[in-house]
Amino acid sequence: MKKTLFATPQDAEAAFYDAFVRRDLEAMMEVWSDDDDSYCVHPGGARISGLENIRESWRRIFAGGQDLRFSLREARHIHTMMLAVHSVYEHIAVAGQSRAQQPVVATNIYQRSERGWRMLAHHAAAAPASAQPERGTEPATKTLH
């Protein structure tokens, strides 16, 4: 049973990034929906489904031990009664490194459950560092679309 009730998708999102920064695996998994359809795509990675696999992926990331700070920019929210879609740019800074990291564009999907809002999907992908995001940027040439 989840202990925390997130009253809004924003509350769930804040808890997601807070758990990420604190590398708190239990807090991270509190955010996730128990739904079998939950999935997670880390940048450059495969789709990971199932709570146990999602948990293991975060455990490995947190074991890396990097002290990260997130700045979320250009957030767009689409809310309906049962689902919410948040599209954000994650600008990530690593403590002790002055070099800017490649930004990440993330689609975060939240689902309303009997006990508040939970993360149903996190799909993250590295975006061009020089992106002018809202223009018709050329897609990378490595792939076919």
Binding site for its own copies (CB under 8 A): 20, 35, 37, 39, 41-50, 52-54, 56-57, 60-61, 66, 68, 74, 76, 78, 80-83, 85, 87, 89, 92, 94, 101-102, 104-105, 107, 109, 111, 120-121, 123-128, 131-140, 142-145
Least CB distance to its own copies at residue 116 (A): 16
Least CB distance to its own copies at residue 100 (A): 12
Q: Of 130, 119, 132, 143, which is closest to residue 37 (Cα–Cα)?
A: 119
Q: Which is nearer to its own copies, 5 or 78 (CB)?
A: 78
Q: Which is nearer to its own copies, 3 or 92 (CB)?
A: 92
Q: Of 81, 74, 80, 82, which is closest to residue 103 (Cα–Cα)?
A: 74
What 86-95 contacts at long range (C-beta under 8 Å, 24+ apart), as own/partner pairs, is 86/9, 86/13, 86/110, 89/127, 89/133, 90/124, 92/68, 93/68, 93/69, 94/66, 94/67, 94/68, 94/69, 95/66, 95/67, 95/68, 95/69
Q: Which is nearer to its own copies, 2 or 123 (CB)?
A: 123
Q: Which is nearer to its own copies, 1 or 44 (CB)?
A: 44
Least CB distance to its own copies at residue 114 (A): 15
